[in-house]
Amino acid sequence: MSVDLVVVGVGYVGLPLAEAASAAGLSVLGYDTSPLVEATVAAGRSHVPDVSASRLQAMRARGFTVTTDPAILGDADTIVICVPTGLTANGGPDLAAVRAAAATVSEHLRPGTLVVLESTSFPGTTDEIVRPILEKHGQTAGEDFSLAYSPERVDPGNHRFGVRNTPKVISGHTPLCAKQCAAFYDRFVKSVVVARGTREAEMAKLLENTYRYVNIALVNEIAIFCDRIGVDVWDVLHCAATKPFGFMPFVPGPGVGGHCIPVDPKYLLDKAEREGTLLGVVHAARLVDDQMPSHVVDRVTRLLAEHGKPLREAKVLLLGVAYKADVPDTRESAAIRIAVRLRAQGAELSYHDPVAAAVPQLGPPADDLDAALRTADVAVLLVAHGAYDLGRLSSTARLLFDVTGQVPGEEVVRL
């Protein structure tokens, strides 16, 4: 029995994709190497915030299941690889999951199947890395099976744009592969954009996230400069954002986090270095991002000193350790880098997050928020989760340092 789609890697990208395809009437199954993911979905519980338990249960009623048995790949008309692409211990691209997924797919690939890579990587990944693995059992891409690349555009916590209404960039190893890929996504995505080739589509994804990376670095650097010269950066940003053309607002923060923004530009820099090219603007943005946690610690140190308290004797409470508001993901979170620096300088650290789970390297979180606010010498708001009553934070804390710029009141100290 054939199935329209098997999603390989049922996580932040794979599950929303599966949900969108299932809701459009496609038969969908998931393959994941994690028994925990298999068991969680089987129990009707969603492990991804963007897919609610009720939507997952509706998917299951339509036949969706997740299995650790790769044999289901042999029944797929289309296989979409959505595994993570992180960084190695040395900070370089880590394609181990992509290689492993491609190897598994190749063992079960039947003629006529469309294989799509959605995992983010540098230009050339689909053709130079994935294709040879898929072809190692004798089949040829573009002849025996179709090969395509379509970059994921999932934005966790975004309630306005999802898989269905976000334009989908697609590409193919051959024009026919691209045509088949477009026809597949046309079944459940409103708008499909065809790239010239897989390298162009891979590069487009890196450009999208590097654009954000560079602009966040710009406003972070402006924030550091405004602090030095005594200018209110939040008022500067408010005024600049009133221009109806030629300006797009970004806001400063403790440093970029998450699985994409701090990672994808490093894939681009690594590829550029291997090609003998220096991307100066991107490299400069990385330097700014790397210094933001230290800047936050420096501001906290100065703030405490103004109140007669050295950092090495202070109780510091971090509010929000996820990488963005209302998302439980702590991957690459700047809060963790800040916490490490604060502890290294002798601060007694505690943290609270109403959304994210406990971070093992930081220890258990504070259970009683009000008690933690009253006890801490300074509370540092790093992420303004919707569950936080910002006015209450300000009135309860002995001293509040707002990195987000969202706490009302003239008495609040802001980044």
CA dist., res. 54 & res. 356, Å (int): 21
Same-domain pairing of 261 and 381: yes
Instruction: Taking residues 311-336, report their average pLDDT.
Output: 94
Query: Distance (Å, rounded) from C-alpha 223 to C-alpha 235?
Result: 11
Which stretches of 82-130 are assigned E, i.e. beta strand? 86-87, 93-94, 114-117
Number of domains the chain is built from: 2
Range of the domain at 59: 3-196
**CA-to-CA distance for 389 and 367, rounded, in angstroms?**
16
Q: What span, in angstroms and rounded, lies between the C-alpha atoms of 207 and 260? A: 12
- Residue 201: inside a domain, yes or no? no
Q: What is the DSSP letter of 150?
A: -
Check whether residue 167 and residue 191 sit in a common domain: yes
Q: Is 175 in the same domain as 233?
A: no
pLDDT at 244 (0 to 100): 96
pLDDT over 80 at 373, yes or no: yes
Q: Does residue 174 have a pLDDT over 80?
A: yes
Q: What is the mean pLDDT of the chain?
A: 96
Q: Please report the pLDDT score of residue 412 as a whole number.
A: 83
Per-residue pLDDT at 354 exceeds 80: yes
Tell me the catalytic residues.
260
Compare 77 and 156 and report the one with higher pLDDT.
77
- Domain assignment of residue 204, yes or no: no
pTM (global) more than 0.85: yes
Same domain, 314 and 176: no
Same domain? 305 vs 341: yes
Same domain membership, residue 248 and residue 184:
no
CATH of the domain at 150: 3.40.50.720
Q: Are residues 164 and 299 in the same domain?
A: no
